[in-house]
Amino acid sequence: MPERPLEGRVALVTGASRGIGRAAAIALAGQGASVAVGYGSNMEAAERVAAELRTHDVSAIALGAELSDAEQAATLVPRTVEALGGIDVVVNNAGVARDNLALRMSDADWRAVIDVDLTAAFVICRAALRPLLRQRWGRIINVSSISGVMGNPGQVNYSAAKAGLIGMTKSLAREVGSRDITVNAVAPGFIETDMTETLDTQLRVRVVEQIPVGRMGTADEVAAAIAFLASPAAAYVNGHVLHVDGGMGA
């Protein structure tokens, strides 16, 4: 395989100003892809990521959108095409969490998570399908979660959204696989990100005890899985959910 197998390709990564999204953007740029760095509110962080990506001798741009607004989410694809000349890879990584027990969960918290974590991913996929189908090549990678595979108490909204991403991934894979477009998902377990930094020490210990490898994962480890699924090496992987969870879902 070439050293830069995505040379000349263009990727859109949502939620790329930090965490897994940032790591994925860097990994894709390292493979030669130009990258649109999608962000919600932290423009400065997204611009820093874009500047870092350019050190890999690729083009990069920061694109802001409020993903709870489906119309704004859908604009990310044509804006990527306009700014970078096309679109080949889509990584739906952006997500929010509004945890609570189901009995106490408000309608607003339910909708907020479904709108960003699931609906935005769908409208971005839908917008991307036309150019991908026209060129008969593409890679879509949806970032789900082990919570969407196994469920997690206090996360009925998050688990439902992430499980929905898996169903969407499998259906899309069947719809577009014949056009050399693969649609896959990664399901991270507990990863060292801003979302897990808030865990108190006792809870962190209990979490790690559930992980067969005995530690949390890193954003770079998830990004490596995303980069593989985007690469030509994964051309025959379609409709798959790749667990990056240290064995939690085994």
Q: What is the pLDDT of residues 206-242, one digit of tens each?
A: 889 989 999 999 999 999 999 999 999 999 999 999 9
Give the CATH number for residue 93: 3.40.50.720
CA 33 vs CA 11, 137, 142, 250: distances in Å: 6, 14, 18, 33
- Is the pLDDT score of 2 beyond 90? no
What is the pLDDT averaged over residues 14-37?
98
Mean per-residue pLDDT of the chain: 95
Share of the chain above pLDDT 70, in %: 97
What is the pLDDT averaged over residues 128-143?
98
- Is the pLDDT score of 66 beyond 90? yes
CA-based nearest residue to 248, from 218, 207, 220, 203: 207
- Residue whose token pair is 């056009």: 179
DSSP symbols for 184-221: EEEEE-SBSSHHHHTS-HHHHHHHHHT-TTSS-B-HHH
Distance CA 37, CA 19 (A): 12
- Is the pLDDT score of 199 beyond 80? no
- Is the pLDDT score of 245 beyond 90? yes
Is 236 marked active-site? no
Range of the domain at 50: 10-244
Name the domain count of the chain. Answer: 1
Q: What is the pLDDT of residues 71-127, one digit of tens each?
A: 999 999 999 999 999 999 999 999 999 999 999 999 999 999 999 999 999 999 999
Distance CA 10, CA 118 (A): 23
What is the pLDDT averaged over residues 134-141?
98
- Is the pLDDT score of 1 beyond 70? no
Annotated catalytic residue: which of 39, 122, 158, 190?
A: 158
> Considering the domain boundaries, does residue 58 fall inside one?
yes
> Considering the domain boundaries, does residue 198 fall inside one?
yes
CA-based nearest residue to 124, from 140, 147, 103, 104: 140
Distance CA 80, CA 101 (A): 38
What is the pLDDT averaged over residues 119-136?
98
CA-based nearest residue to 219, from 207, 208, 227: 227
CA-based nearest residue to 183, from 161, 166, 162, 160: 166
> Considering the domain boundaries, does residue 3 fall inside one?
no
Q: Give 158's pLDDT tier (boundaries 50, 70, 90).
A: very high
Distance CA 154, CA 53 (A): 37
- The pLDDT, as a whole number, for residue 195 is 66
- The pLDDT, as a whole number, for residue 202 is 79
- The pLDDT, as a whole number, for residue 9 is 98
- The pLDDT, as a whole number, for residue 249 is 85
Distance CA 232, CA 108 (A): 41
Please, what's the largest Cα pairwise distance for the chain?
53
Distance CA 12, CA 38 (A): 7
> Considering the domain boundaries, does residue 144 fall inside one?
yes
Higher pLDDT, 210 or 186: 186
> Considering the domain boundaries, does residue 250 fall inside one?
no
> Considering the domain boundaries, does residue 208 fall inside one?
yes
The pair of structure tokens assigned to 218 is: 């890193």
> Considering the domain boundaries, does residue 5 fall inside one?
no
Distance CA 137, CA 128 (A): 11
> Considering the domain boundaries, does residue 249 fall inside one?
no
What is the pLDDT averaged over residues 187-192?
94
DSSP symbols for 52-117: HHHTTSS-EEEEE--TTSHHHHHHHHHHHHHHHS---EEEE-------B-GGG--HHHHHHHHIII
What's the whole-model pTM score? 0.95
